[in-house]
Chains A and B, each alone.
Chain A
């Protein structure tokens, strides 16, 4: 593969050969070693230590869907990073949140964003939400080899389906198995606690405001019981990343907005440490 993009010479033949609209397909023909899933792994003893992202939550509401994540990355029992970003826009109408090996996950998101954008530019139209979810599935599956060695990536994908006019959430397992979630979903180490919190608080007619509050409540509960999940860090002013996707597209709450939500929750938790109560019956 002598000719590459570094030279400013003629476009290599591969670039001008008609083919698929997928950037991943193009890359696997042209420079397969650049694909994350194609790397040769050296044999390793035990688990590879690398920063891990933790809890991601998603909730759908009447006009769309909310996707949020805490900010902590851990390596074993050490906090590797306090302000990591784990929720990214995938395109105008969808977002992806990642739990698992941070380095691989961020790379996967980058390639996924590019895949969607590339398709859009080449075809002049966007993929369906289902199509995007399937594409992500393929990418996770191609990472299976590394997942078996402990470098798993497990994302949560949420988006607004413009054809069906509602928000949708997809969760994944390490093998790329995909399932659509109704109402709410969580992934990562704190997901058990976050899911339980959401289960008690979720109802169908949430407003956007209620949904963004709900996800922060759930993350608070996850941080409360899971050491790998970070709660709102008031001293350093690091707050969860909360994103909203509606028919107007993707929007990330400003630091100001998410700090206000977090502050209100912390205020209430001072009186009621376990958070809002659901009715017993």
Chain B
């Protein structure tokens, strides 16, 4: 039996990080922005059934880039965690901060355990507050670190370019249509700086809207409503959502 090669811990971690980052980079980017009435999630997603964004609890939404089966697993874990906590204590005791901590611990343990392969996912957990100042957005990279974000955040393959673009242009108190337009413009930028068009039917859009009268603030924006918003914002995409069988 030959002795295994010695690999320094630094090297091992760097390799794992590289592996995870490459996996995430294969996925399409998505962005999460604050607007006047809440938080909007925008991403390019050709599938109508397999979502990148979803509701975790009343005021908490979830977005993920990377490997579908891995983030779906984490999403369901998060839903169970939130429902369990709300059932044990009270609905108000379920917070994005708590959920983000649990995700960070989970991702961190997986990342540093030699027995498991690192998850190729990057998550965003967002909670809409009563006022824009109360909004919380957390970004969770593959290694279990946690970043408290404000205004806008991008994750996925082309995240750096998109983030820079968003940071320069995002303003507080934008309308939903304006925020959506900015998000689509940001997502349309390629690494080499060229632009391409994302048709409305390839966009997945959801909001956490604090003005919703229901306790549950998460809502998907589809079909005609999406088309209308894109037109209103004047986004340079194929904005006609020609989809008569879509309700809303």
Contacts and interface: CB of A to CB of B under 8 A. Distances in A.
Interface of A: 5, 8-11, 15-16, 18, 23, 26-27, 30-31, 34, 92, 110-111, 114, 117-118, 121-122, 124
23 contacts: A5-B81, A5-B88, A8-B101, A8-B102, A8-B105, A10-B102, A11-B102, A11-B106, A15-B77, A15-B81, A18-B76, A23-B80, A92-B214, A111-B87, A114-B86, A114-B87, A117-B83, A118-B80, A118-B83, A121-B54, A121-B55, A121-B79, A122-B76
Contacts of A15: 76-77, 80-81
B8 to A, nearest CB: 26
B54 A124 contact: yes
Contacts of A124: 49, 51, 54
B17 interface: no
A118 B79 contact: yes
Interface in B23-57: 49, 51, 54-56
B74 interface: yes
Given A16-B73, A26-B80, A121-B54, A9 B105 contact: yes
B98 interface: yes
Given A8-B98, A15-B77, A34-B88, 14 more contacts: A5-B81, A5-B88, A8-B101, A8-B102, A11-B105, A11-B106, A16-B76, A18-B76, A26-B80, A34-B87, A114-B87, A117-B216, A122-B76, A122-B79
Nearest to B70: A16
Nearest to A250: B214
B109 interface: yes
Contacts of B49: 124
A223 to B, nearest CB: 31
Nearest to B108: A10
A117 B214 CA distance: 13
B238 interface: no
